[in-house]
Amino acid sequence: MQDDVIRVVEAHLKGLGARDVSGSPFHDDIEFVGPVGPPIKGASTVRAVFTSFFPTIKGININRHIVDGEWCATMFDFDTTFGIIPMVDCIHVVDGRIMSIHVYYDPRPILEGMR
């Protein structure tokens, strides 16, 4: 099960790093929660939000996965036009689909870069 969870998480993160989330295995009722703004719900809305980030994305370097059952915390370096931002995504995977993504990072480089 651990390998299955990691495969799902990596499919999403590698797609995000390549600026293509069309293959991200989102559940229809996915919830995305980040440090800025309200929670976002629904696969099409979450895809649209990730797509809006594409102009700033240069790549992703995954450092470590910590898996506990259906949950995976992934530490990675998000290479962006604002610099490299260390992140942790806590992702809940059920039956091969991502149910939720909770993102933890310091948003200051992005907020300052958008001024």
* Domains within the chain, CATH numbers bracketed: 2-113 (3.10.450.50)
Q: pLDDT tens digits for the chain (115 residues)?
A: 789 999 999 999 999 999 999 999 999 999 999 998 899 999 999 999 999 989 999 999 999 999 999 999 999 999 999 889 999 999 999 999 999 999 999 888 777 766 6
| pLDDT at residue 14, as a whole number | 95
The model's pTM is 0.91
**What residues pair up with 2 in beta bridges, in sequence order?**
none
E strands, 5-96, in order: 26-33, 40-41, 57-68, 71-80, 83-94
Which pLDDT score, from 0 to 100, does residue 96 have? 97
